[in-house]
Amino acid sequence: QVQLVESGGGLVQPGGSLRLSCEASRIMFSINTMGWYRQAPGKERELVATLTSVGSTNYADSVKGRFTISGDNAKNTVYLQMNSLKPEDTAVYYCNARQIVLARPYDYWGQGTQVTVSS
């Protein structure tokens, strides 16, 4: 089994930056997509960014140009660099990894890390 642990969240002023990290407990094989999701109180969990096994990225319109997702396979870690943060970015951010083995998808989730953007 795989465990994902996020870190790097915290309190930051509008316009500031944070870098979130998500480290897997073991080397993961057959990973199709890794991504970051977020959920604000009372709202649905939404996709923030994804990174495929071939290096393609996708971002929510609300974060394009501000956030960057990247991965380090040697370190079993995926990152989310967040710049020009806005109050509306405040949410719990969750790391996700989708592993496909024999055509079966397995989703792994981190525990979440709080990001608060406030002056």
Q: Given this model, what pLDDT does residue 62 score?
A: 97
pLDDT digits (tens, 9 = 90+) for 84-113: 999 999 999 999 998 888 889 889 999 999
Given this model, what pLDDT does residue 84 score? 98
Q: pLDDT tens, 10-52?
A: 999 999 999 999 998 876 667 788 999 999 999 999 999 999 9
Three-class secondary structure assignment of the chain: CCCEEEECCEEECCCCCEEEEEEECCCCCCEEEEEEEEECCCCCCEEEEEEECCCCEEECCCCCCCEEEEEEHHHCEEEEEECCCCHHHCEEEEEEEEEEECCEEEEEEECCEEEEECC
